[in-house]
């Protein structure tokens, strides 16, 4: 188990790149900016339980972008250049390599997000807000899981693609599908089915479930269900917050596991 | 104990056969030269040992550990200089060595190692700025970390000038004297001839010969090379020589000199045959066949 050596090495060189500093700085800046604005526009009750509902939409866009951009090059670039052969000439297994890269890239984004959210919590509480510890802690955990999902997707495309460029294209395809157009497609589906009078304005539960499988939706439902006191979710059992929790955790492990199995069986040169 | 054991290792890429049932054992303490023209499958074989490439069939072991099933254990006591690598972005030479030290979980002084491979002065320089030869020295340095029991080197002298190649050979000798097994591939014969106990010759994915240098010489009909100077080569002279029983190869060096490898008994027959064909033999001498001749003999890669 030498993944820690790889993780440490990777984190050190990754964070040395200016583009990475910019991305992580952007993430921290946006989270803190939202925390700074929130007490001004947040209405009567300012609390750390309500703040997540305010910031989660921004996170649902920004976290995928930052995590993908950090993750897509985790392995693909070194595989393309041949540097990966130097690592694997040493007594590292491919599993250690992938785990180390994943821990490093996820850790950088998750660590930045954690620190920013703690800072944001402080900005919300002082001077006029309320501190609701449990919902806010839950929100932090969900945010970190959501980060792990997108970082995992980034590393997964990095494992599946044989070149850096292909990994970047695949990463953007995922981002485009899940983050950019998912809502529009859902809306179009809803409008279409309503127009042909198959449904009456809102999607039936099974379809809502399918649409809700997207990681950002699952993350949003967790915030709605567990954290935000002003909101709740309704519908069949498979639309519950607990199922959303399972869906999000499956996104954490599923793509990485599949991509690793693919990578592990590949010839590298 | 076997340092390397390959059993019926084959690798196919579609309909291309890169390795064809390679059977090879390298004993501990040997210096083994793995010889063959470019594209013969030398790197593919080494990559199977490193699990960069999965064999289509057969198994390979390093110190008894299966290279595919148990790759980390197999590479634990091995120093590697692979083919087709590149150095890490943003790391200095010294940091490369440090990475190898941490990965192998050993204690070592990176500067001492860089000094040994001759790039101490470039220790703090980014390795991406290194020349090919310096990168080659750096990766050899990474391989030397932790006094490995086996050095697995794929074309180690690539990018080195003759001086550098000689230094590389010196290091290999020192490592072998320390007790390490050396396995390295090359398409340059003199390097193999200079340091190897045994050589294997790979041709089109097939291991066509494994022997000591002396053994290879003997198997080549006594290994006699005849250099014959004649007044002038005529049409058909080469064919005449080749038709003599016991002649292995005949090459025209220029328009008045012929090199013939043949059995000892055939030497006079060649001269007699030439005389009968009306060619005047001005001079002739014999030489011991070099590995180059054997290599040409085995691989048929001469410019004939």
Which residues of chain A make contact with B90, given a CB cutoff of 8 A? Answer: 13, 16-17
Residue B67 has pLDDT above 90, yes or no: yes
Q: What are φ and ψ of residue B224, in 5° steps?
A: -90, 135
**pLDDT by residue (tens digit) across B138-190?**
999 999 999 999 999 999 988 899 899 999 999 999 999 999 999 999 887 77
To the nearest whole Å, the CA of A269 is away from the closest chain B CA by 6
3-state secondary structure of B25: strand
Which residues of chain B make contact with A91, given a CB cutoff of 8 A? Answer: 72, 75-76, 103-104
**pLDDT by residue (tens digit) across A229-243?**
888 888 888 889 999
3-state secondary structure of B150: strand
Which residues of chain B make contact with A89, given a CB cutoff of 8 A? Answer: 50, 75, 80-82, 85, 142-143
3-state secondary structure of A197: coil
Residue in A closest to B152 by C-alpha: A89
CB B101, CB B143: distance < 8 Å: no
Which segment, B29-38, B97-106, B249-258, is predicted with the most confidence on average?
Answer: B97-106
Instruction: List the single residue in B75, B89, B143 with the smallest CB-CB distance to A13.
Output: B89
Whether the CB of A15 is below 8 Å from some CB of chain B: the reply is no
- Closest of B264, B269, B281 to residue B224, by C-alpha: B264
Quote the pLDDT of residue B304. 34
Residue B221 has pLDDT above 60, yes or no: no
The helix (run of H) or strand (run of E) holding residue A156 is: helix A133-160
The fold adopted by the segment(s) B2-212 is Rossmann fold (3.40.50)
Contact A16 B91 (CB under 8 A): no
Query: Which residue matches tokens 């020192």?
Result: B174
Quote the pLDDT of residue B245. 80
The fold adopted by the segment(s) B221-288 is Alpha-Beta Plaits (3.30.70)
Contact A82 B90 (CB under 8 A): no
**B215 vs A115, higher pLDDT:** A115
Cα distances from A108 to residues A15, A26, A71, A78, A179, in angstroms, run 8, 13, 10, 19, 21
The answer to which of A180-184, A251-255, B281-285 has the lowest mean pLDDT is: B281-285
**B231 vs B58, higher pLDDT:** B58
Cα distances from A258 to residues A58, A255, A264, in angstroms, run 29, 5, 10
**Total structural domains within chain A:** 1
Contact A92 B83 (CB under 8 A): no
Which residues of chain A make contact with B53, given a CB cutoff of 8 A? Answer: 267-269
Quote the pLDDT of residue B28. 95
Q: What CA dihedral angle connects B186, B189, B192 and B197, to 10 degrees? A: 120
The answer to which of A255-259, B27-31, B252-256 has the lowest mean pLDDT is: B252-256
**B294 vs B63, higher pLDDT:** B63
d(CA B143, CA A119) in angstroms, rounded, equals 46
Query: Which residue matches tokens 């290279």?
Result: B67
Percent of chain B with pLDDT over 70: 92
- The pLDDT of A87-102, averaged and rounded, is 96
Which of B88, B95, B149, B155 has the most A C-beta neighbours within 10 Å, making it the best mutation to test the interface with A? B88
Give a yes or no: residue A203 inside a domain.
Answer: yes
CA–CA–CA angle A26, A28, A32 (5° rounding): 115
- Closest of B112, B120, B69, B57 to residue B93, by C-alpha: B120
Question: Half-sphere exposure (CA, 13 Å, Cβ side) for B122?
Answer: 20
CB A60, CB A179: distance < 8 Å: yes
Which of A14, A19, A89, A95 has the most B C-beta neighbours within 10 Å, making it the best mutation to test the interface with B? A89
- At B191, is the pLDDT very low, low, confident or very high (cuts 50, 70, 90)? confident
Q: What CA dihedral angle connects A48, A50, A52 and A54, to 10 degrees? A: -130
Contact A83 B89 (CB under 8 A): yes
Give a yes or no: residue A16 inside a domain.
Answer: yes
List A residues 60-89 in contact with B (Cβ-Cβ < 8 A). Answer: 78, 81-83, 85-89
d(CA B87, CA B78) in angstroms, rounded, equals 19
Query: Which residue matches tokens 């793995």?
Result: B34
The pair of structure tokens assigned to A113 is: 């997000």
Quote the pLDDT of residue A12. 92
Contact B88 A88 (CB under 8 A): no
Instruction: List the single residue in A2, A78, A89 with the smallest CB-CB distance to B50.
Output: A89
Contact A92 B103 (CB under 8 A): yes
Q: Hey, where are the domains in chain B?
A: 2-212, 221-288
Query: Which residue matches tokens 């395809």?
Result: A173
**pLDDT by residue (tens digit) across B252-298?**
888 788 888 777 777 788 888 888 888 888 888 877 666 666 666 66
Contact A5 B87 (CB under 8 A): no
To the nearest whole Å, the CA of B76 is away from the closest chain A CA by 5
Percent of chain A with pLDDT over 90: 77
Residue in A closest to B73 by C-alpha: A91
- The pLDDT of A63-69, averaged and rounded, is 97
CB B36, CB B96: distance < 8 Å: no
Contact B88 A2 (CB under 8 A): no
Quote the pLDDT of residue B222. 54
Give a yes or no: residue A269 inside a domain.
Answer: no
d(CA B112, CA B108) in angstroms, rounded, equals 8
Quote the pLDDT of residue B179. 95
Strand partners, B19: B11
Instruction: Count other Cβ atoms within 10 Å, centred on residue B43.
Output: 22
Q: What is the pTM assigned to this prediction?
A: 0.85
d(CA B208, CA B47) in angstroms, rounded, equals 20
**A32 vs B229, higher pLDDT:** A32
Average pLDDT of every residue of chain B? 88
Look up the domain containing A157 and give its range. Answer: 3-264
CB B197, CB B32: distance < 8 Å: yes
ipTM of predicted assembly, 2 dp:
0.89
- Closest of A209, A56, A214, A100 to residue A149, by C-alpha: A214
Cα distances from B44 to residues B6, B13, B32, B150, B200, in angstroms, run 13, 11, 17, 18, 15
Quote the pLDDT of residue A171. 96
The answer to which of B42-46, B132-136, B174-178, B198-202 has the lowest mean pLDDT is: B198-202
- At B302, is the pLDDT very low, low, confident or very high (cuts 50, 70, 90)? very low
The pair of structure tokens assigned to B59 is: 């198994």
Percent of chain A with pLDDT over 70: 100
- At B303, is the pLDDT very low, low, confident or very high (cuts 50, 70, 90)? very low
To the nearest whole Å, the CA of A96 is away from the closest chain B CA by 10
Quote the pLDDT of residue A252. 95
The pair of structure tokens assigned to B208 is: 């066509």
Contact A90 B86 (CB under 8 A): no
Q: Which ranges of B151-288 would DSSP assign to H, the alpha helix?
A: 162-178, 189-195, 213-219, 237-242, 266-276
**pLDDT by residue (tens digit) across A202-229?**
888 889 999 999 999 999 999 999 988 8
- Closest of B94, B191, B107 to residue B142, by C-alpha: B94
d(CA A62, CA A113) in angstroms, rounded, equals 11
Strand partners, B59: B7
């Amino acid at each position: 188990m030498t993944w820690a050596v790889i993780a440490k090495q990777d984190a050190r060189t990754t964070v040395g790149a200016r583009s990475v500093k910019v991305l992580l700085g952007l993430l921290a800046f946006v989270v803190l900016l939202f925390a700074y604005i929130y007490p001004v526009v947040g209405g009567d009750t300012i609390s750390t339980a309500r703040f997540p509902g305010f910031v989660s939409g921004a996170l649902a866009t920004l976290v995928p972008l930052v995590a993908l951009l950090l993750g897509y090059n985790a392995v693909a670039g070194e595989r393309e250049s041949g540097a990966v052969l130097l690592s694997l000439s040493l007594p590292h297994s491919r599993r250690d390599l992938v785990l180390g890269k994943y821990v490093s890239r996820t850790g950088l984004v998750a660590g930045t997000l954690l620190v920013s959210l703690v800072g944001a919590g402080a900005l919300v509480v002082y001077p006029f807000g309320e501190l609701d510890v449990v919902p806010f802690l839950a929100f932090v955990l969900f945010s970190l899981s959501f980060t792990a999902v997108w970082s995992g997707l980034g590393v997964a495309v990095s494992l599946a693609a044989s070149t850096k460029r292909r990994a970047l294209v695949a990463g953007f395809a995922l981002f485009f599908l899940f983050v950019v157009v998912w809502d529009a497609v859902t809306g179009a589906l809803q409008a279409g089915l309503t127009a042909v009078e198959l449904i009456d304005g809102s999607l039936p539960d099974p379809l809502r479930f399918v649409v809700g499988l997207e990681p950002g939706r699952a993350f949003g439902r967790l915030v709605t269900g567990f954290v935000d006191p002003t909101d709740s979710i309704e519908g069949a059992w498979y639309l519950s917050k607990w199922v959303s929790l399972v869906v999000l955790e499956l996104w954490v492990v599923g793509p990485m596991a599949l991509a690793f199995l693919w990578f592990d069986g590949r010839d590298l040169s | 104990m076997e340092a390397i054991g390959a059993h019926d290792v084959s690798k196919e890429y579609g309909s291309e056969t890169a390795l064809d049932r390679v059977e090879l054992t390298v004993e501990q303490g040997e210096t083994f030269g793995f010889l063959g023209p470019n594209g013969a499958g030398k790197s593919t074989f080494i990559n199977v040992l490193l699990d960069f490439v999965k064999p289509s069939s057969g198994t390979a072991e390093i110190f008894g550990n299966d290279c595919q099933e148990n790759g980390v254990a197999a590479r634990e006591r091995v120093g590697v200089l692979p083919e087709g690598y590149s150095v890490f972005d943003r790391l200095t030479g010294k940091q490369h060595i440090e990475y190898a030290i941490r990965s192998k979980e050993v204690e070592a002084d990176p500067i001492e190692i860089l000094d040994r491979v001759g790039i101490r002065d470039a220790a703090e320089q980014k390795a991406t700025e290194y020349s090919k030869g310096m990168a080659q020295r750096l990766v050899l340095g990474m391989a030397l970390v932790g006094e490995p029991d086996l050095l697995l080197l794929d074309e180690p002298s690539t990018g080195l000038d003759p001086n550098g190649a000689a230094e590389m050979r010196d290091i290999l000798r020192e490592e072998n004297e320390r007790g390490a097994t050396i396995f390295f591939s090359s398409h340059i014969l003199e390097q193999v001839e200079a340091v190897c106990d045994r050589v294997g010759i790979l041709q089109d994915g097939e291991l066509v010969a494994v022997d000591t240098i002396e053994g290879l010489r003997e198997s080549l009909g006594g290994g006699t090379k005849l250099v014959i100077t004649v007044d002038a080569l005529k049409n058909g002279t080469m064919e005449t020589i080749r038709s003599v029983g016991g002649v292995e190869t005949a090459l025209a060096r220029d328009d008045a000199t012929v090199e013939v490898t043949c059995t000892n008994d055939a030497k006079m027959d060649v001269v007699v045959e030439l005389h009968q064909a009306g060619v005047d033999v001005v001079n002739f001498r014999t030489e011991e066949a070099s590995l180059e001749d054997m290599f040409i003999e085995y691989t048929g890669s001469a410019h004939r």
